[in-house]
Amino acid sequence: MAGGKVSDNPIRNIVIVGGGTAGWLTAGVIAAEHMAHSKHGISVTLIESPDVKPIGVGEGTWPTMRGTLRKMGVTETDFIRCCDATFKQGAKFAKWVTGAKDDAYYHPLVLPQGYEQINLAPFWQQQADHIPFADAVSFQGQICERDLAPKQNTTPEFAHVANYAYHLDAGKFAAFLQQHCTEKLGVKHILDTVIAINSHDSGDICSLSTKQHDEINGDLFIDCSGFHALLIGKHYQIPFINKKHILFNDAALAVQVPYSDPQSPIASHTISTGQSAGWIWDIGLPTRRGVGHVYSSAHISDDQAEMELRQYIRDSIGDKVDDLKVRKIPIVPGHRETFWHKNCVAVGLSAGFLEPLEASALVLVELSAAMISEQLPATRKIMDIVAKRFNDKFRYRWDRIIDFLKLHYVLTQRTDSDYWLDNCQTETIPDGLTELLELWQHHSPWHSDFTQTDEVFPSASYQYVLYGMGFKTQQPKTSRRSNNQNIALENFRKNQQMTEKLLRGLPTNRELINKIQQFGLQRI
């Protein structure tokens, strides 16, 4: 490569630095699609340091995970049994609007009834005082309120009655993926510490030097080294764009909470409860809950944040909370300026991190792995084109996620602390979100409000949060929608019938998980 030119060699060897969920998911997606187990396939090598422990609190997924696991050849029964997984059907936001005891709304995972045909939001507003938006247009909030599962045990693997994602044990999930990738998909696993990164004249990474192995050569290097960002940050010095001026939360306290009874109900959704300077997540697994407090250190001390967390847990398990060990995780909200640079692409925490509201961390790993795999460059020369497309796509996705997370804060009516007041300050709200909020004062969010066919959050998600938070869209003085009134009423009726039917026919989350542990699910 004299003169610093890139070669036009074919891409045959992929090296992933870092394990954890990000590393093994990425390895699995690429290895499965590009037949790493065969001699004609792409070689996938994952190197991870035995000295670095994964963060291990990414316990919520999106429904996309079902498709990802299927593509990798994982059975849902094995996954649920080995990863302590349960079914997740959305999020319940408590104390985000007014902070009152009964203040709560749902962001379900099903689209509103008839969503491809009609926007029900304007018609719901006529009866907004009588029924919450999520209940009027979907059945899933009612299912979640009763801790019901999204299907029966006779429903085949990955199929559903109600759309669902998972809650899982992040540590067990990484170990499960590692075993599957190495035993079934042909991923080579090296436990060693990278001590040097060696470059071609072109600036591309040529190889990695390790403590105990020979140099590891590769054509494409994927940085899954977490907050260390060994390749994208330390080696390439790609700047990090801090977003703390928009999303204030910069610390989390995590704890594992036992059930008071081994057969306690398992919540069918993530519970997110607003606090004085942040919020608490509560995730139900089969043998425990994963609970954590995400907060802004500019608005509350670590000690006070821990006190609020322990008080929240005390309500369910009493004084046993005093024996629980709390782990602190620092957060720097933001992302890299560029994600794919030369022959290196960052996936997971090395690319960036935002607070775990709406479980966006794992879905960004899935989306990154999928795009790398689907558009894997045939040669080094093509790589720069793919990299540009990747960077454009993911810069857009990070911006939209930031907008959507901020949406949860800017509509609050809470005035009980500086944290909630500061979140509503105009200068902390992205311009794009400000424009959308102005637009939505006059028409409800709808498909054409967003430009991408594969938006991370569809307009339906914005509807659930907007109207869950009490936002009002002005209706035109003369009804231009009168022709749709009957269609809307029919959809409201259908949703009511579906709600009643599912409440009668679905088992509880706990019952279904118990049956899967005992009998498994039917293969498709």
Q: pLDDT of 3-60, one tens digit each?
A: 467 678 899 999 999 999 999 999 999 999 999 999 899 999 999 998 877 665 569 9
pLDDT the model gives residue 56: 58
Residue 147, phi-psi category: left (phi > 0), alpha (psi -120 to 50), beta (remainder): left
- This prediction has a pTM of 0.95
Q: Is CATH 3.50.50.60 the classification given to domain 9-59+169-240+334-400?
A: yes
Annotated domain spans of the chain: 9-59+169-240+334-400, 253-258+267-330
Residue where the block lists tokens 């995730």: 283
Structure tokens given for 459: 């307009």
Evaluate if residue 384 carries a pLDDT over 50: yes
The two counts, helices (H) then strands (E), for the chain are 15, 21
d(CA 410, CA 420): 8
User: Three-class SS of residue 142?
Assistant: helix
* DSSP structural state of residue 508: B
* pLDDT for the residue numbered 328: 95
Who's near 218: CB < 8 A, 6+ residues apart?
13, 14, 15, 45, 205, 207, 208, 343
CA distance 45 to 197: 16
Tell me the pLDDT tens digit for each residue of 198-230. 999 999 999 999 999 989 999 999 999 999 999
Instruction: Indicate the pLDDT class of residue 454, thresholds 50, 70 and 90.
Output: confident
